[in-house]
Structure 1
Amino acid sequence: MKINNEELFQIGEVAEMLGITTRTIRYYEEIGLMDPPQRLEGGIRIYTKDDIKRLKFILKLKELGISLKEMQELAQIYKIHQTPEKIMPKLIEILDSHIAKIDEKIAKLASLRKDIVDYKTRILEILKQNNT
């Protein structure tokens, strides 16, 4: 739908577009990740292309493993400064923290893999000795 030459979307359209539920969108609004949307008469939520960009950003952060709490921190910074440039240092800090956690998990998994391969090798040697 268009109002004042701006393309607007109802919550169901946005949810379908992004592959999420309407409940998810409402939840993001409730916890402050999204500003309350404009409403038509009758209370129907309508979203702008900027709202959809914001939702896509939230979904990308979620995909990267950023917690809702961390997203709320970013949203607070954005609300205060109203420029994406101001949230970038905090976002980089959060991403660096996640990279460190991932590196730690990779190291633990590599160690576990080595232990499992060593254990398997010992079992195969025992089986080989028993069959000869």
Structure 2
Amino acid sequence: MKQYWKVGEIAGLTGLTIRTLRYYDQIGLFSPSDQTDSGHRLYTESDISRLHQILSLKELGLALEEIKSLLARNHCSPVEIVSLQIERLKERIQTQQRLLAELEHVSALMHLKEPLTVDDFTKVLVMMKKSHDKYFFERQMTVEQNLDRLGDFLAGRPDEP
């Protein structure tokens, strides 16, 4: 027997609002597979998989229209999207780990009451800027850049961190 979820249940599972899910349906991005006789939306496992793809691509900085277009052309599978998410997350983790190492170094010097040099502060500031810039850069990329990056990844050419 096929399992169905109502819109409120999907909202509860995903943390999205019912209003957002209805909007996604309205623009043709995420529509339910079925509905009850009284018109309530019913979602299936494959719908939830599609929602994961949508949210993953959104997290990568793509606009809803880009996501809709990309999924309509079947340019990427759920496996490819998860792989792309993993690559981007690894990049963010590496940047944060470098910042953490610099902060720990400065903290150790402070605890030892050692003098901090301009170089010590500069390294921390540079890592903070990289961390900050990378985050906002990914959020503000243009449509073309997002699609190019996704296309490169799917072609087996992920960009360097």
TM-score range relative to shorter protein: 0.5 to 0.7
Q: Distance in 2 between matches of 1:83 and 1:69?
A: 14
> What SS class does the counterpart of residue 46 from structure 1 fall into?
strand
Structure-2 change in CA distance of 1:31 and 1:104 (3 Å): farther
Q: Distance in 2 between matches of 1:106 and 1:32?
A: 40
Q: Which has the larger radius of gyration?
A: 1
Q: Distance in 1 between matches of 2:19 and 2:82?
A: 26
Q: Does 1:96 align with 2:92?
A: no
Find the counterpart in structure 1 of residue 69 from structure 2.
Answer: 76
> What SS class does the counterpart of residue 117 from structure 1 fall into?
helix
Find the counterpart in structure 2 of residue 47 from structure 1.
Answer: 43
Q: Conserved in 2, the CA contact under 8 Å of 1:11 and 1:46?
A: yes
Q: Which runs of 5+ in 2 are unaligned?
A: 115-161
Structure-2 change in CA distance of 1:81 and 1:42 (3 Å): same
Find the counterpart in structure 1 of residue 4 from structure 2.
Answer: 8
Q: Distance in 2 between matches of 1:25 and 1:120?
A: 51
Q: Distance in 2 between matches of 1:116 and 1:31?
A: 51
Q: Conserved in 1, the CA contact under 8 Å of 2:60 and 2:85?
A: no
Structure-2 change in CA distance of 1:75 and 1:91 (3 Å): farther
Q: What is the aligned-residue RMSD (CA, Å)? A: 3.8
Find the counterpart in structure 2 of residue 127 from structure 1.
Answer: none
Q: Indicate which of 102, 106, 118 corresponds to 1:115.
A: 106
Find the counterpart in structure 2 of residue 25 from structure 1.
Answer: 21
Q: Distance in 1 between matches of 2:7 and 2:36?
A: 12
Q: Which runs of 5+ in 1 are unaligned?
A: 124-132
Structure-2 change in CA distance of 1:101 and 1:72 (3 Å): farther
User: TM-score, structure 2 length as denominator?
Assistant: 0.48
Q: Distance in 2 between matches of 1:78 and 1:14?
A: 20
Give the percent of matched residue pairs that are identical in Structure 1 and Structure 2.
26
CA deviations over 1:35-76 (Å, ceiling 9, x no partner): x334456543221221123234556x38xx933527865553
Aligned length: 112
